[in-house]
A and B are shown apart, each in its own frame.
Chain A
Amino acid sequence: MGSVLAASSPNPPPPTSGAAVAPGLTVPPGFGMPSVSSVIPEAASGMQQQEEENPLPNPGAFDECHRKCKEVFPMQMEGVRLVVNKGLSNHFQVNHTVLLSTMGDSTYRFGATYVGKKQTGPAEFFPVMVGDMDNSGSLNAQIIHQVSSGVRSKLAFQTQQNKFVNWQGDAEIRGEDFTATVTLGNPDVLVGSGIVVTHYLQSITPSLALGGELVYHRRPGEEGSVMSLVGRYSGSNFIATLTLGSAGVHASYYHRANDQLQLGVEYEASTRMQDTSVSLGYQLDVPKANLLFKGSVDSNWVVGATLEKKLLPLPLSLVLCTFLNHRKNKFQCGFGVTIG
């Protein structure tokens, strides 16, 4: 499979064992660490010249500010899931997903991923087209394309059987030390409704990035806007992010203790829902055992864990997931097998 960058579908596929057919690295979605500027030998002394030679790095995408911490937490899964991935060529891959559920309907999903030939980076190929459809005819599709060296566009569609429920397009502009995104969601010219979301993230120092989000929504007889501010501080082995808005507060702290252990702490407070929660999660990665373990506990007395084991040399990956809600006395268990 060719390289896929930021090709995250609305329902992200389960982690695969990565039996790629084609060369090229598959970058995990949302890998948004700020790039480190290369060290340039000084031609002359002077702080100004040093500052010019070491520019501020690009801060990454706005949506990726909290993602590093969120990736540490286990993903809740219920029922039995079987995923089969098959690469048909260097650019095309299909996958079949069967989900047997005890709480909802059992489904079958067919997905396809196409990666183009235009290479913009060591592991970036465009355009990227990702789509999947379930047995009831509901479709999720995304098209991502690098229009120019600094502009990336995305189109996303979602249908509920034969009815479009979500359609949006966005353009992301990546400068040397800033990232700006404009998203237009569900525009309806006939009714006069739609949602516009703008993001801006600016590197202030090599470690500090500040930004904001503005959401404007309009319907017949109603319109409104919501603004929030975000700040992210990155250290050598940690990332602290804070989002402040009228809707509430979201703070996250990601810490990489060593190559095996990563921890994440998340705090969320919603003024609209009048609710707060804090979660602690950790991820243990033991590559020698082909094992990945994630655990979490939160203030709502929910304890969860996910175990992922690659059954080498077979192209199989086994996933076990368990969540316990002690307050509501509920138990949820999931089991998954990924082939290919």
Chain B
Amino acid sequence: MSGSNGKKGSSSGVMEWIGSACRFAADRNDFRRNLLVNLGLFAAGVWVARNLSDFDLMSPQPVT
């Protein structure tokens, strides 16, 4: 009995944490949320610029 109640308690705690995280990520009016999300987007943009931009536009097309 106590074990199942403990499991239910931990799963509800995880669900609550996930719910609060989703509400935090979706709240556009929260300045702190905007700060963190845009910081992550900036880091992702820098990663894309450094790693996914090394293609040569003037290279000849491959012969099929």
Contacts and interface: CB of A to CB of B under 8 A. Distances in A.
Interface of A: 238, 251, 253, 255, 257-258, 260-261, 263-267, 269, 274-278, 280, 284, 286, 288, 299
* Overall SS of chain A's interface: strand
Nearest to A258: B56
A273 to B, nearest CB: 10
A282 to B, nearest CB: 8
Interface in B25-59: 31, 34-35, 37-39, 41-42, 45-46, 48-50, 53-58
A258 B54 contact: yes
A284 B41 contact: no
6 contacts: A260-B56, A265-B45, A267-B42, A269-B35, A275-B31, A286-B58
A269 B36 CA distance: 11
A251 B40 CA distance: 13
B30 to A, nearest CB: 10
Interface residues of B, number: 19
Contacts of A261: 53, 55, 57
Nearest to A238: B50
Given A257-B53, A261-B55, A286-B58, 17 more contacts: A238-B50, A255-B49, A258-B57, A261-B53, A261-B57, A263-B49, A264-B49, A266-B42, A267-B39, A269-B38, A275-B31, A276-B34, A276-B35, A276-B38, A278-B39, A278-B42, A278-B45
B38 A286 contact: no
Contacts of B55: 257, 261
Contacts of B54: 257-258
A339 B53 CA distance: 34
A148 B39 CA distance: 44
A276 B39 CA distance: 9
A258 B48 CA distance: 15
A94 B11 CA distance: 74
A211 to B, nearest CB: 22
Contacts of A263: 48-49, 53
Contacts of A286: 57-58
Contact of A255 (B31, B42, B53, B56): B53
Contacts of B31: 274-276
Given A253-B45, A253-B46, A265-B45, A277 B53 contact: no
A7 B58 CA distance: 34
A212 B30 CA distance: 30
Nearest to B53: A257
Nearest to A299: B38
Contacts of A238: 49-50
Q: Which 8 A-B pairs have the closest CB atoms?
A: A265-B45, A257-B53, A267-B42, A263-B49, A255-B49, A278-B38, A278-B41, A276-B38
Nearest to A285: B57
